[in-house]
A and B are shown apart, each in its own frame.
Chain A
Amino acid sequence: MNFMALKQPENSLLGSESDSQRTLYPYVTGTSVAALKYKDGILMAADMGGSYGSTLRYKSVERMKPFGKHSLLGASGEISDFQEILHYLDELILYDNMWDDGNSLGPKEVHNYLTRVMYNRRNKFNPLWNSLVLGGVKNGNKYLGTVSMIGVNFEDNHVATGFGNHLARPILRQEWHENLSFEDGVKLLEKCMHVLLYRDRSAVNKLQIAKITKEGVTIHQPYSLKTYWEVSAFENPAQGAIGSW
């Protein structure tokens, strides 16, 4: 019998009582988002998969959403937390519009807001389990930033989340340059998405490309990439393997 059992106050973070009050692990998740600046604005790509652990449960999840006049938000990680963030942002944009003063929140301001939200949730040990990509154009200025679930944030000419950090960013570092045309930008993003499709087990072959320019946001219809699996090593994989049968 345990007379000296540890007595914890109700509100401590140790123990099962308080675990129901905060995020411990993600459930339905989206994989990488990749984005880059090009001549007229920002291009962003994400596939439409929502995984439930190792199951590819949902295949039509829109992980990029426009909001306000100037911004586009893409997210990887927990889908329900992404939906909550969209709810916060709707409220933010609403209050901004209600001022009716001719001013509107630009992507830089929204990025700052999201950084504060993610960081403060992390400090309360109840994170929004997402990595966000925020892109936009305001007054001719292109902006592309990212925030992680622990509040790490920065802006750059090209960003990626999740596996994209490891697979897409090296490609972007090598091949990105200023003033990419729309076609070249899409080609470059598709190259990244190709690699992710081959090598990220949670990627699905149904992706969307989104574009934001000073004219506004366009999220294109979903489509799939052509893949090639006739690699000779896959045809007879056991051929050279000693001891295999």
Chain B
Amino acid sequence: MASSGFQADVKALQKHLAARHLIYQHQHNKQMSCPAMAQLLSNTLYYKRFFPYYSFNVLGGLDNEGKGCVFTYDAVGSYEKVGYSSQGSGSTLIMPFLDNQLKSPSPLLLPAQDAVTPLAEAEAIDLVKTVFASASERDIYTGDKLEIVVINADGIRREYMDLRKD
């Protein structure tokens, strides 16, 4: 789960969800799937509809079949399964570029088309690095350092990259 916004609310929200995840594991003897966590996050956010968590989230992970999924949220819990997303102060700079590169099929299409983007892992990581380097140029709040979390069948891996420090 990646969150942008007011840090104290972000920490509180992530702590809340981590606790709920632990309870789920105790009760169901398995890890929560990404779609399950997606619904939980939405409900948690809407619970504070009239005093919101000032947190703009993107949730990524694997569903029950082991396929990747990405969910994007607003501060009060509206969410959507998408092929890619960005949130936060740099999102206005990043999102159009992602749209250009990853052109997702419209969610209105029938029959529904898969939102999974046909990118190899190395290409995807390179794209993420490019996108943040670009956002750092023009967004004053984006910069210093980037953390990339890669989740696949082999597990979870983290990569770091320095960004402009001004």
Contact = CB atoms under 8 A, between A and B. Distances in A.
B36 interface: no
A151 B6 CA distance: 10
A113 to B, nearest CB: 13
Q: Classify chain A's interface size.
A: 10 to 19
B130 to A, nearest CB: 27
Nearest to B10: A152
Interface string B1-28: 0000011100110000000000000000
Contacts of A131: none
A117 to B, nearest CB: 12
Nearest to A118: B8
User: SS class of chain B's interface: helix, strand, loop or mixed?
Assistant: helix
Nearest to A151: B8
Contacts of A122: 8
A202 interface: no
Interface string B41-58: 000000000010000000
A122 B9 CA distance: 11
Contacts, number: 19
A123 interface: yes
B12 A119 contact: yes
A227 B13 CA distance: 47
Interface string A66-89: 000000000000000000000000
B70 to A, nearest CB: 27
Contacts of A153: 7-8, 11
A169 to B, nearest CB: 13
Contacts of A152: 6-8
A24 B8 CA distance: 20
17 contacts: A115-B8, A115-B11, A119-B8, A119-B12, A122-B8, A148-B8, A150-B6, A150-B8, A151-B8, A151-B11, A151-B12, A152-B6, A152-B7, A152-B8, A153-B7, A153-B8, A153-B11
Given A148-B8, A150-B6, A153-B11, 6 more contacts: A119-B12, A151-B8, A151-B11, A152-B7, A153-B8, A154-B7
